[in-house]
Amino acid sequence: MVRAAVIGATGYAGAELVRILLSHPYAELAVITSRKYEGIAFSDVYPAMAGMTDLRCERFSEAAIAEAADVVFTALPHRASMSIVPGFVNRGKKVIDLSADFRFKDASLYEAWYETHQAKDLLRTAVYGLSEVYYNDIKCASLIGNPGCYPTSVLLPLLPLVKVPFVDLHDIIADSKSATSGAGRSVNLATQFCEVNEGLKAYKVAEHRHNPEMDEVLSRFSGSSVHITFTPHLVPMTRGILTTIYVGLKEAVSSEDIASRLDLFYRNKPFVRICGPGKLPNTMHVKGTNYCDIGFKIANHTRRLILVSAIDNLVKGAAGQAVQNMNIMFGFPETAGLDQVPFPI
Amino acid sequence: MVRAAVIGATGYAGAELVRILLSHPYAELAVITSRKYEGIAFSDVYPAMAGMTDLRCERFSEAAIAEAADVVFTALPHRASMSIVPGFVNRGKKVIDLSADFRFKDASLYEAWYETHQAKDLLRTAVYGLSEVYYNDIKCASLIGNPGCYPTSVLLPLLPLVKVPFVDLHDIIADSKSATSGAGRSVNLATQFCEVNEGLKAYKVAEHRHNPEMDEVLSRFSGSSVHITFTPHLVPMTRGILTTIYVGLKEAVSSEDIASRLDLFYRNKPFVRICGPGKLPNTMHVKGTNYCDIGFKIANHTRRLILVSAIDNLVKGAAGQAVQNMNIMFGFPETAGLDQVPFPI
Amino acid sequence: MVRAAVIGATGYAGAELVRILLSHPYAELAVITSRKYEGIAFSDVYPAMAGMTDLRCERFSEAAIAEAADVVFTALPHRASMSIVPGFVNRGKKVIDLSADFRFKDASLYEAWYETHQAKDLLRTAVYGLSEVYYNDIKCASLIGNPGCYPTSVLLPLLPLVKVPFVDLHDIIADSKSATSGAGRSVNLATQFCEVNEGLKAYKVAEHRHNPEMDEVLSRFSGSSVHITFTPHLVPMTRGILTTIYVGLKEAVSSEDIASRLDLFYRNKPFVRICGPGKLPNTMHVKGTNYCDIGFKIANHTRRLILVSAIDNLVKGAAGQAVQNMNIMFGFPETAGLDQVPFPI
Amino acid sequence: MVRAAVIGATGYAGAELVRILLSHPYAELAVITSRKYEGIAFSDVYPAMAGMTDLRCERFSEAAIAEAADVVFTALPHRASMSIVPGFVNRGKKVIDLSADFRFKDASLYEAWYETHQAKDLLRTAVYGLSEVYYNDIKCASLIGNPGCYPTSVLLPLLPLVKVPFVDLHDIIADSKSATSGAGRSVNLATQFCEVNEGLKAYKVAEHRHNPEMDEVLSRFSGSSVHITFTPHLVPMTRGILTTIYVGLKEAVSSEDIASRLDLFYRNKPFVRICGPGKLPNTMHVKGTNYCDIGFKIANHTRRLILVSAIDNLVKGAAGQAVQNMNIMFGFPETAGLDQVPFPI
């Protein structure tokens, strides 16, 4: 049994980590921290968990956590992560960071969109935790920059196709629709029930911080400089991201060609489901799961490929993928702790 | 491994049975039937289940099912159940029926609220499957009448108190609020999204069929003739029932007294959680689980006890309790297949 | 044209007052204030209002408001109201206060549930603004204590019946379900989208501040000391309260009797709609309107009358009734500004 | 007063027509029809309307309607419309058809996406009822093909820009997100509450019938052959469409340039609101109104213009625009009956 710590356990991603780790067959949740709820039982913060765990939220202490845990999940806001991650790495712990702090290879790109980076040297060894794509690197990594929720929903459908010659890398648009838990548990007016319910809006159009994250990975993976157009939207739901991607095609392509490339890329990957012909994903089908469902349609009249992906933003988009990465790092079955049967509705 | 069949697998309760049985450690889902989707893969009816099962919906055949299964779950509308249940019972199968057909001891009560009963003799041996309360009878039963969702939410908080002298059995009101999946998957105008969303209504006030079901159990259990006032409401949610029960008190009672009676009654019962002092249930805390959370408050100024319970109508209110009953019947751990960690949100 | 001011215009009740007053045929919205949004255009706070008004939120100034307005609506938290209302009353302005500060006749009752009252003398002349019931007093009032949303939904169905001999005044329970806008626009965790959506809970059971408000009015109106049991619930909707009231009957009563008493009481009252036989209210039917819909059912087996009412908590439960009271005070048609046709969905 | 008839008054668009016409200052709703609810009071079909109207749903009769009404709104499924519209046109009535039957100029395009057209000759004189754009034609028209909801949300932001040289007409994508009322009131599984709530999906990707409708108008208006890529999505809301449009730019353009073109195009158009710099639409801001809110952002890094529009699909996307067209046809003020103040939430 590997012993795990969750730093920042009471945010939505942190709580989802707690949920998954509590029933993980090879991990034991040893310690959780929360600045806001220090000393409070986790099940008092999330009463759904009553009877599941006696863990209390502790104050952060590098020494105590390093003593208690083999792997550390940091579910903190960016900046907060980079100040504590190096300590654990130096102590030889495996660290999986859910913030943006270790997702970028290019520190200047991070600094252009976030702020001064205080642990730049770690960017070289940190591995981008898109489990299906960087599997081999993750295996050997000691620090994972766990992908953003939007990038996960954009990159999984897109990466299998960015090296094929008929795809126009300069003509890619991703239109994402996210449930409200993506905004986290911090309290603000824009995510009050009455400000979200029966509303639908775009935000941070073409200026969301996940855009450069996608661009860097797409560029690295394809070997070309890629800049995509990305628009996030907020939808009155609790969980789920649906992303619709428009890809320019340089020539006519058949559905079979696309399907076989996706199938091949994700052969033996347990968490990517390619929808059959004529079918498309729905966030309802992945709710509470670590799946990324991918469907597509070719628009012949405009020579575009339209990819659609669905994930649960808190699972495959955050905590689930983090645990998947832990599984890969520790040699556990990739699906350990993540294989519960989905809800029909 | 016990081999299970689900008759009527594509309704919401049936699909939830499929979900639970697919990951049950001691049961194997051997056959599912659906009249409407005969021949169709279950995962085509519920795409969330893609990759989970290859089962196809079969046409109903008593012989084939009896051959393939040790336990039969019937998730059919009332009347349809009573026509097929006797066949399986006669063949020595364990049957857990989710309809109302085998919930009543008094056939004339059933007939007053439903219709002519065609398998009256089975009512004598059928056991009302309120797992925590009729545990010992369930153990030995071959036919279970699985409780209605509303009765489960009413009876669990109420039964521990109906034999205590300070409770006025003639002054009990249950006000229930149900999510929309309680109406089942059959298509009709009243459950179309736009007719439910942003609406809230009472229906079948004091004339819902679950009222006599509750009354019969309350009367049997208490030894007095009990008739409660019951009002169901429809709420724009997918899962959950919250029931608020108003009980007249014949004398002043302390909170400690009530708490200790509830605690005692449900000691060692894994699926009933009594909320701590000052806390109350929320359907969100039991979503997707087999829990019944119970809280209460004493209104001294009007000498009433107010009990509040929360269940997931599809789990503890239907499929989960059915599997709990199977566990009891077959001597499995009561929580087998039902112990997944709840979602924090 | 009467000139109106709204103090606290950016909360949900205040904004709803702005909405109604902007299209009122006999009132002109002269000034609005907001501490938080001072200097900001109202349509920047509520972009739905773009093009509707150029009003900016002003800092509160008694002198300026008294100069600009004939009638002052105060939509502030309790306590804040009582500190400014006397100034306007002294200057001869008509004041309609939406807080709890002037709803009670008995200052000690207010103080038991709220806090020290600083304008007790005004309680004598303040009129409880339940428009249909205190119509004649409202006509002559200079200060209105506008009723709470829950009390409105409880009192309107109940008051026509509290003087009839067959009603047991000591056996009344009100179970209310409120949409989330009732919690106001102040930002807090409990009303964040993900904490409300797909959840349902009771809160402040038998200890909500609206309970003594109802009790005082019921007692005053009936001439007996009445204490009812009241439980509020929070529902994942934006607008609406549905209240289910359980009334003990001392003898058998016919539906016709109840119906005729309700019809008689509300004859010529434009905003109370009594549902026809067999019909019940739905909050969807009153959304955005000043209606209170009332239906009922008699439970013969338990000798109880079950009344159900539906209102829009922000309209009949707050701003709409406030404007209705203004109409009555100024001799306008009672429906002026409140007669828009409801939405079908 | 013009006398109006609504054919098909009990669907969502029909009912919205009834709502608007009931408070129209220059129109009188003379007759409504419904095949399904023949003989039933409209307020029994939509109880929200109790007290608003005594109209009953009548059986369709061309003669009776022509006798009673000056203007006929047909809110029927396509095909049904074309069989009755010619009769009214021949009798000299003004007809506003909300189906697709008279939206196309090119009958073969209609027939490729719908079915054989049985009133082709009327296509020549029918006017596409996009009120702001075809105002002058509408003025003189006797038959209006009222635009589809999606096309309205796509065309209003796009048309002001399709003639400017820097816009690449071959690089336009529209990603629309629609509330569920867009599917109409007909009962089916896909729009049951539990199948929509907490779900999000794309459907009819690049093959929705509104795509050729948009293409024809864009081509006609721009003078070039335009084919856009269009993807509709279904969102768990009752009302609203948010459309995000991606337009390729041939050269760098300033925000001021775009803003001034939009402002100029919609100068004096009361129902189009151009959001100020840095602001974007939200369906919540247009709920229940006839507004189309338009915002935009230029993505310099990918040389794309991103336009975002919000409408209420039942108002500006159907019934509201239909009444706006009636106003234009009869010389009423364009906003008559459509000028109610929006709800803040």
Task: For residue range A18-57, list pLDDT tens digits in order.
Answer: 999 999 999 999 999 999 999 999 999 999 999 999 999 9
CA distance C200 to chain A (A): 13
Contact D236 B197 (CB under 8 A): yes
Query: Which one is catalytic: A57, A149, A275, A292?
Result: A149
Contact B173 C177 (CB under 8 A): no
The pLDDT value recorded for residue A240 is 98
Query: Which one is catalytic: D57, D140, D149, D194?
Result: D149
Contact A345 B181 (CB under 8 A): yes
**How many other C-beta atoms can be found within 10 angstroms of the C-beta atom of residue D2?**
18
Chains in contact with B, where contact means 3 or more Cβ–Cβ distances below 8 Å, are A, C, D
| CA nearest to C315 within chain D | D343
CA distance D316 to chain B (A): 18
Contact C306 B205 (CB under 8 A): yes
Residues of D in contact with C282 (CB under 8 A): 47
- Answer yes or no: do D189 and D309 share one domain: yes
Confidence of residue C300 (pLDDT cuts 50, 70, 90): confident
- Answer yes or no: do B73 and B206 share one domain: no
Task: Provide the number of structural domains found in chain B.
Answer: 2
Query: What tokens does D343 get?
Result: 């709800």
Q: How many CB pairs under 8 A join A and B?
A: 93
Q: Tell me the C-alpha distance between D138 and B257, whole Å.
A: 76
Q: Using beta carbons and an 8 Å cutoff, which residues of B are at the interface with A?
A: 12, 15-16, 18-20, 22-23, 46-52, 181, 198, 238-239, 270, 273, 275, 279, 282, 284-289, 293, 339-345
| CA nearest to B284 within chain A | A48
Would residue C338 count as lying in a domain?
no
**How many other C-beta atoms can be found within 10 angstroms of the C-beta atom of residue B117?**
20
Would residue D336 count as lying in a domain?
no
Query: Distances in Å between the alpha carbon of A37 and those of A9, A48, A275?
Result: 9, 16, 42
Counted residue by residue, chain D has a size of: 345
The pLDDT value recorded for residue D99 is 98
Q: Tell me the C-alpha distance between B205 and B227, whole Å.
A: 14
Residues of B in contact with A286 (CB under 8 A): 48
CA distance C313 to chain A (A): 13
Q: Tell me the C-alpha distance between A332 and A25, whole Å.
A: 9
Would residue D340 count as lying in a domain?
no
Q: Tell me the C-alpha distance between B334 and B270, whole Å.
A: 8
- Answer yes or no: do A132 and A169 share one domain: no
Q: Which stretches of chain A drop beneath a pLDDT of 70?
A: none
CATH of the domain at C140: 3.40.50.720
Residues of A in contact with D232 (CB under 8 A): none
Task: Say which DSSP state A88 is in.
Answer: H
The pLDDT value recorded for residue B53 is 97
CA distance C58 to chain D (A): 19
The pLDDT value recorded for residue D101 is 98
| CA nearest to B310 within chain A | A48
Contact D342 C22 (CB under 8 A): no
Over residues D69-90, the mean pLDDT reads 96
Contact C200 B287 (CB under 8 A): no
* Among the partner residues C282, C288, C341, nearest to D23 by beta-carbon distance: C341
| CA nearest to A274 within chain B | B50
Contact D15 C345 (CB under 8 A): yes
Contact C193 A238 (CB under 8 A): yes
Query: With 90 as the cut, is the pLDDT of residue C186 above it?
Result: yes
CATH of the domain at C252: 3.30.360.10
Contact D198 A229 (CB under 8 A): no
Query: What tokens does D317 get?
Result: 């996307």
CA angle centred on A252, ends A250 and A253, rounded to 5°? 105
Q: Tell me the C-alpha distance between A293 and A279, whole Å.
A: 10
- Answer yes or no: do B131 and B11 share one domain: yes
**For all residues of chain B together, what is the average pLDDT?**
97
DSSP letters, D288-343, are TS--EEEEEEEEGGGTEEEEEEEE-TTIIIIIHHHHHHHHHHHT--TTTT--PPPP
Residues of D in contact with C48 (CB under 8 A): 284-287, 289, 342-344
The residue behind tokens 């196709």 is A161
pLDDT tens per residue across all 345 residues of chain B: 999 999 999 999 999 999 999 999 999 999 999 999 999 999 999 999 999 999 999 999 999 999 999 999 999 999 999 999 999 999 999 999 999 999 999 999 999 999 999 999 999 999 999 999 999 999 999 999 999 999 999 999 999 999 999 999 999 999 999 999 999 999 999 999 999 999 999 999 999 999 999 999 999 999 999 999 999 999 999 999 999 999 999 999 999 999 999 999 999 999 999 999 999 999 999 999 999 999 999 998 899 999 999 999 999 999 999 999 999 999 999 999 999 999 999
Chains in contact with C, where contact means 3 or more Cβ–Cβ distances below 8 Å, are A, B, D
Burial class of residue D85 (count of CB atoms within 10 Å of its CB; 0-12, 13-18, 19+): buried
- Answer yes or no: do A322 and A308 share one domain: no
CA distance A189 to chain C (A): 6
B47-72 as b/e: b if 16+ CB within 10 A: bbbbebbebbbbebeeeebbeebbbb
Closest CA to A322 of A118, A115, A103, A154: A103
Query: With 90 as the cut, is the pLDDT of residue C301 above it?
Result: no
- Answer yes or no: do B256 and B322 share one domain: no
Residues of D in contact with C50 (CB under 8 A): 273, 285, 293
- Answer yes or no: do B24 and B161 share one domain: no
Contact C282 B200 (CB under 8 A): yes
The pLDDT value recorded for residue C317 is 98
Confidence of residue D157 (pLDDT cuts 50, 70, 90): very high
Task: For residue range B139-189, list pLDDT tens digits in order.
Answer: 999 999 999 999 999 999 999 999 999 999 999 999 999 999 999 999 999
Q: Tell me the C-alpha distance between C1 and C26, whole Å.
A: 5
* Cβ neighbours of residue B309 closer than 8 Å, sequence gap 6 or more: B153, B154, B156, B157, B241, B242, B243, B245, B281, B292, B293, B294, B295
Residues of A in contact with D301 (CB under 8 A): 206, 227
Q: Tell me the C-alpha distance between C158 and C153, whole Å.
A: 9
The pLDDT value recorded for residue A301 is 87
Q: Tell me the C-alpha distance between D145 and C306, whole Å.
A: 50
CA distance D46 to chain C (A): 6
- Answer yes or no: do A307 and A241 share one domain: yes
Would residue B339 count as lying in a domain?
no
| CA nearest to D196 within chain B | B193
CA distance A325 to chain B (A): 20
Q: Using beta carbons and an 8 Å cutoff, which residues of A are at the interface with B?
A: 12, 15-16, 18-20, 22-23, 46-52, 181, 198, 238-239, 270, 273, 275, 279, 282, 284-289, 293, 339-345
Residues of A in contact with C185 (CB under 8 A): 189, 192, 194
ipTM value for the complex: 0.97
Residue D310's DSSP bridge partners are: D242, D293
Contact D205 A175 (CB under 8 A): no
The pLDDT value recorded for residue A210 is 97
Contact D286 C19 (CB under 8 A): no
Would residue C340 count as lying in a domain?
no
Query: With 90 as the cut, is the pLDDT of residue C229 above it?
Result: yes
- Answer yes or no: do A157 and A294 share one domain: yes
Contact D299 A244 (CB under 8 A): no
Query: What tokens does A233 get?
Result: 């939207």
| CA nearest to C314 within chain D | D345
The pLDDT value recorded for residue D300 is 87
Would residue A344 count as lying in a domain?
no
Query: What tokens does C3 get?
Result: 């000139």
Contact C47 D282 (CB under 8 A): yes
Residues of A in contact with C236 (CB under 8 A): 193, 197
Residue D174's DSSP bridge partners are: D230, D245
Closest CA to A12 of D64, B344, B227: B344
Q: How many CB pairs under 8 A join B and D?
A: 54
Q: Tell me the C-alpha distance between D148 and D99, whole Å.
A: 8
| CA nearest to A184 within chain C | C194
Domain of residue B105: give its range: 2-147+316-330
Would residue B342 count as lying in a domain?
no
Residues of C that are catalytic: 149
Contact B171 C175 (CB under 8 A): no
CA distance D40 to chain B (A): 17
* Among the partner residues B47, B275, B339, nearest to A285 by beta-carbon distance: B47
Over residues C136-163, the mean pLDDT reads 98
- Answer yes or no: do A97 and A181 share one domain: no
- Answer yes or no: do D142 and D234 share one domain: no
- Mutation target to probe the A interface, by most A beta carbons within 10 A, among C16, C192, C234, C283 is C192
pTM for this entry: 0.98
Confidence of residue C221 (pLDDT cuts 50, 70, 90): very high
- Answer yes or no: do D170 and D79 share one domain: no
* Cβ neighbours of residue B214 closer than 8 Å, sequence gap 6 or more: B150, B151, B154, B155, B174, B228, B230
Q: How many CB pairs under 8 A join B and C?
A: 154
Would residue D75 count as lying in a domain?
yes
The pLDDT value recorded for residue C180 is 98
In 3-state terms, what secondary structure has residue B211?
helix
In 3-state terms, what secondary structure has residue D56?
strand
Over residues D202-231, the mean pLDDT reads 97
The pLDDT value recorded for residue B300 is 87
The pLDDT value recorded for residue B301 is 87
Q: Tell me the C-alpha distance between C269 and C259, whole Å.
A: 15
Contact A193 C197 (CB under 8 A): yes
